[in-house]
Chain A
Amino acid sequence: MTRNADRILDESFLEIRAKLLEVAATLDRIDRAGEDCEKLSSERIAKRQQIDEAIAICSRHESDRAEQLQRLFSRPYAADWRKTMQV
């Protein structure tokens, strides 16, 4: 690494703060609309839960959070796809 952890945090702090605020404000907006208009549909509730899971992943102290988020938002891979698709 060319920079130490302190420096990376200092350089990224405002950016992370801004991104977290955007996420928080967007979730507030969804909740307000849910109270004022209609609740989330069942399909959307699953998506909303996925966002909660993603936030939980970000809170973990692990070194592969970006990869974990990518997998959370991915369809699963089935090793027997050739047999299923008959390809």
Chain B
Amino acid sequence: MDYIDPHIHMVSRITDDYATLARMGCVAMSEPAFWAGFDRGSACGFRDYFRQLTEVEPKRAAQFGIQHFTWLCINAKEAENLSLSRDVIAMIPEFLDKPNVLGIGEIGLNKNTKNEATIFLEHLDLAAKYEQLILIHTPHLEDKYQGTRMILDMLCDDSRIDPSRVLVDHVEEHTIGEVLDRGFWAGMTLYPVTKCTPERSADMIERYAGERLLANSAGDWGPSKPTAIPDLIFELRRRGHAESLIRKVVYDNPIEFFSQSENFRFTPRESGEARLPS
């Protein structure tokens, strides 16, 4: 089955991963800007990173027939540095017209601090001014519930933000309900230890019928599995779910959400023509 990984960090992966993903049915992916594993020292470091996301990775992906899209921001972990964050946010508009940029992301909270919230709000302002889609990172482990609620508060307090243009990622059993109830899209991240397993993700798909739900591998430089979406497809098939439901979550839903960006010019491999979900 062709599928789209809506959240994967290919700058941290080797070329063999692109080859494996292509062989497993990955036809497109979106790569949010994230923490590199160390704090960058200047806005110039981010300019180079944004060039990598908008120029280098699309070419690497294209070698394997995969269409690569991206999101730009300074991540929550580095948002503790307000001055650096503001320099990076001021630079982002230079890149918004690059052909593979879908919006602002992955913005959010990490330890739910005042500085993180301040920079999150400044990113929201940027997205609203430039009419960009938004991809949200919710915190890890014990910070997730509190952080997700704070993020939803900030999103809902800004009347310029349309929930149908926001994807809230890394949802789990205790956060998915509120994200969907408030009209946002929800992303489930399939990780080997933290976040969701394919089995728990399949449970959530059964409970919420796959509506406004996406699944991703969030493959990066840490413990993660870039081929996690095929694991979810396998689990859903093992349970006897219809191919149409599986396809909705791993293919149609990402297309429907991304299609709200003018830069999402996706060519499915079946017809060779641009396809929108019915």
Which positions in A face B, CB cutoff 8 Å? 1-3, 64, 66-67, 70-71, 73-78, 81-82, 85-87
Contacts and interface: CB of A to CB of B under 8 A. Distances in A.
Contacts of A3: 239-240
Contacts of B117: 85, 87
A18 to B, nearest CB: 14
Given A82-B153, A85-B114, A75 B239 contact: no
Give the size range of B's interface with the partner: 20 to 34
A35 to B, nearest CB: 29
Interface of B is mostly: helix
Contacts of A73: 141-142
B114 A70 contact: no
Contacts of A77: 145-146, 149-150
Nearest to A64: B173
Nearest to A70: B174
Given A66-B173, A70-B174, A74-B144, A81 B150 contact: yes
A63 to B, nearest CB: 10
Interface string B194-208: 000000100100100
* A interface SS class: loop
A66 B153 CA distance: 24
Nearest to B245: A2
Contact of B200 (A1, A66, A81): A66
Contacts of A71: 145, 174
B125 to A, nearest CB: 13
Interface of B: 112-114, 117-118, 121, 141-146, 149-150, 153, 172-175, 200, 203, 206, 239-241
B176 to A, nearest CB: 9
A87 B142 contact: no
Contacts of A66: 173, 200, 203
A73 B142 CA distance: 6
B146 A74 contact: yes
B174 A2 contact: no
Contacts of A82: 153
A1 B144 contact: no
Contacts of B174: 67, 70-71, 74
Contacts of A76: 145-146
A75 B206 contact: no
Contact of B173 (A67, A78, A81, A86): A67
A62 to B, nearest CB: 13
A32 to B, nearest CB: 25
Contacts of B175: 70
27 contacts: A2-B239, A2-B240, A2-B241, A3-B239, A66-B200, A66-B203, A67-B173, A70-B172, A70-B173, A73-B142, A74-B142, A74-B143, A74-B145, A74-B146, A75-B112, A75-B142, A75-B145, A76-B145, A77-B149, A78-B146, A81-B112, A81-B146, A81-B150, A81-B153, A85-B117, A87-B114, A87-B117
Contacts of B203: 66
Given A2-B241, A74-B174, A87-B118, 18 more contacts: A1-B206, A2-B239, A70-B172, A70-B174, A74-B142, A74-B146, A75-B112, A75-B142, A75-B143, A77-B145, A77-B146, A77-B149, A77-B150, A78-B146, A81-B150, A81-B153, A82-B153, A85-B114
